[in-house]
Structure 1
Amino acid sequence: MPQPKVIVVGNEKGGAGKSTLAIHLATALLHGGARVSVLDLDLRQQSMAHFFANRRAWLDANSASAPMPVEHISSAELARASEDEALGRFEQAFGEAEASDFVLIDTPGGDTAVSRAAHGLADLIVTPMNDSFVDFDMLGVVDPVTLELKRPSLYSETVWNSRKIRAANSGRSIDWVVLRNRLAPTEARNRKRVDERVQALSRRVGFRVGPGLRDRVIYRELFPFGLTIADLSPTIKPVAMSLQHVAARQELRALVGSLGLSGAAGDELLAAQ
């Protein structure tokens, strides 16, 4: 059987937009006709699990239809398990998910055994970061006087080790993309400084840099309904439509394109309507 493409959304810092990114990627792939399995490993937030529960409830209440992924693991169940039990449950769930075209894994904002296991299985690791040195600290350490890059961070080393192990075991590489998330609308000195350090670190540890999602209201206001801009249509429009939705759709298209997922996500379904 063909193997699914495994996408891990990872970042050991909370608040970087991992779950927002994961649900948008999932719905874009679903609207492209792909079979998508999702695994939510964020035991505290459980944002992706809540999103798809909201989606199911809203669609039922409004007699509407939209594609759904297959959920293979319960975050609440993992939270009650020991580390060994959690690893065993994750491995079982991942095995069940392999019948899909894509396995999308949302990881917690911290270092856990299950999160490390997920990174080791990835074909694509997507790391969102906000446009600040606070978030860059998760990727690399800078000199406090000169702001020059000193060394990669622990998370960068975790990804590096996952890539080495994956290459040794299967001969396959892991593509790592860092997304500049929630970019400020105007150019600023701090943004330029962060960008220079991100580019320097990308050359050192081997990730690509891509465009993320800006801090748009539409990304937040659709969450309670379990919907994203990929779902909006003449029959599904829980909020008033505006030009912001057109820009957001274009932004999502740029995102999936930078990750090499444009064909799977179905460009025509993400086109502005």
Structure 2
Amino acid sequence: MAINGVHLIVFANEKGGSGKSTTAVHTAIGLAQAGRRVAALDLDGRQKTLARYLENRRETAKRRGVELASPEFAVVNDGRTETFEEKLEMLTRDVEFLVIDTPGRDDDLARAAAGRADTLVTPLNDSFIDLDLIGQVDPETYKVKRPSFYAEVVWDARKARAKTDGGTVDWVVLRNRLQHLEARNMRRVGDALGELSKRVGFRVIPGLGERVIYRELFPKGITLLDLQQLGELGISHIAARQELREMISGLALPEAAANAA
């Protein structure tokens, strides 16, 4: 384990708009809902999306007079790796999992977190634009030509982790927003990801769909697992809730897959 026997789940992607913070915060809350001891750390001191979501959740619980399972959390505001290490030590004292949301850019904090990861999660929109982050494809055949720069970043992180404590990094690529793609393009992206996964070494699992509900719930800080706070659910909400459960299960966390559902 990376620190204090805690499993570190790091969400990282240098491209914006991939659903990174959304999947990070829902994973943290999903684990808390399942009774796991979890904390969260937001390394994006500017946007603070994960931290703001959890702050909203606390305010909703206080305003409504209800209990909402929620992880303890902190933010690294100054961008310093020394502060990151201090927050790591503080948050990993009595938990099983620490969920870390990194900035949507290449910086020292993102690399430091990747080097500490037990599970490294890279959400991608299901398109060749996002795929280009980890692998370049031939414009005619759509076959993978070579890994891209981010695959090299992960390779460096894996080497750093192995050197630090002999541990391994389970790299997971999330395919987000699948249902809005034309079928042929979806197959091409899927084929390229499958080929690249064998060359670079990552697992591919389904992520979250492009659903308005995820954005609508942000001001309240609640999720589709908070059934008593949601009222009547439509079919799309039920489908989205199942997506969330399957995503957390697909991460294959220690003793967490069955409990998260």
Q: CA deviation at 1:266?
A: 6.0
Choose the corresponding residue for 1:46, options 45, 48, 56: 48
What is the distance in 1 between the residues matched to 2:9 and 2:138? 33
For the aligned residue pairs, the C-alpha RMSD in angstroms reads 1.9
What is the distance in 2 between the residues matched to 1:113 and 1:216? 32
Would you say the 8 A contact 2:48–2:75 is kept in 1? no
Question: TM-score, normalised on structure 2?
Answer: 0.92
Choose the corresponding residue for 1:248, options 240, 243, 250: 240
Question: Which residue is 1:139 aligned to?
Answer: 134
- Asked if residue 33 in structure 1 is aligned to residue 35 in structure 2, the reply is yes
Choose the corresponding residue for 1:70, options 60, 72, 79: 72
Question: TM-score, normalised on structure 1?
Answer: 0.88
Question: Which residue is 1:159 aligned to?
Answer: 154
Which deviates more, 36-45 or 24-33? 36-45
Question: Which residue is 1:223 aligned to?
Answer: 218
Question: Which residue is 2:10 aligned to?
Answer: 8
What is the distance in 1 between the residues matched to 2:217 and 2:254? 23
Moved over 6 A (4+): none
How many residues were matched structurally? 258
What is the identity, as a one-letter code, of the residue corresponding to 2:92?
E
Would you say the 8 A contact 2:135–2:151 is kept in 1? yes
What is the distance in 2 between the residues matched to 1:29 and 1:203? 29
Identity between Structure 1 and Structure 2 (%): 47
Question: Which residue is 1:193 aligned to?
Answer: 188
Q: Which runs of 5+ in 1 are unaligned?
A: none
SS in 2 for 1:37: strand
SS in 1 for 2:178: coil
What is the distance in 2 between the residues matched to 1:230 and 1:142? 38
Q: What are the superposed Cα offsets for residues 110-144 of structure 1, whole Å, 9 maximum, x if unpaired?
A: 10001100000000001110011110011111233
Question: Which residue is 2:197 aligned to?
Answer: 202
Would you say the 8 A contact 2:45–2:75 is kept in 1? no
| Structure 1 residues 72 and 186, CA gap change in structure 2 (3 angstroms) | closer
Which deviates more, 141-150 or 114-123? 141-150
Choose the corresponding residue for 2:123, options 117, 125, 128: 128
